[in-house]
Amino acid sequence: MPTRYREALQHCCQRQLIVTVAVNERCTGESGCLWLYPLPEWEKLENTIRQLPTLNKAAGKLRRFLIGNASECEMDSQGRVLLPEKLRSFAGMDKKVILVGQLDKFEIWHEAAWNAKEQEWIDSTDNEGVEDLGHLSF
């Protein structure tokens, strides 16, 4: 974990983290990505998922995939996080990974998968969904 995040993670969650598979179109296990949540953010997500309809097939799939693959992990005093073998294997990760901050969570990418995906985004002319961003400006 980069130094700049360590103190904040110590303060917000006493270094307690949850890692799970990524479940959206840009970040799936086959593309080399996992999600890492500080415990309080994970608990918010769990509560949101808990409120989904029990008999809804998509909600059930989400619960099984996201919650079923979640593992507790703790950042050690040197900022290291041991990712479970099952999740490392699922995401095709080896020694080189990239940590990408995503507001309420982190994405952990296999380095080669991140580089390929980043280049794909740079080269893309797909503007699908841009209109849904409203009046966002930078």
Q: Is the pLDDT of residue 3 over 80?
A: yes
52 occurs within a structural domain: yes
* Domains contained in the chain, number: 1
pLDDT, residue 123, reads 83
Say if 8 falls within a structural domain: yes
Neighbouring residues of 126: CB distance < 8 A, sequence distance ≥ 6: none
Q: Answer yes or no: is 132 within a domain.
A: no
Q: List the domain range (segments joined by +) for residue 20.
A: 3-124
**Does a structural domain hold residue 134?**
no
Give the span between the Cα atoms of 8 and 18, in whole angstroms: 16
Q: How confident is the model at residue 85 (pLDDT cuts 50, 70, 90)?
A: very high
The dihedral region occupied by 56, where left means phi > 0, alpha psi between -120 and 50, and beta the remainder, is beta
The CATH number for 92's domain is 3.40.1550.20
Question: Helix, strand, or coil here: 130?
Answer: helix
Query: For residue 130, what pLDDT is reported?
Result: 61
Give the pTM.
Answer: 0.84
On whether residue 130 sits in a domain, the answer given is: no
Answer yes or no: is 133 within a domain.
no
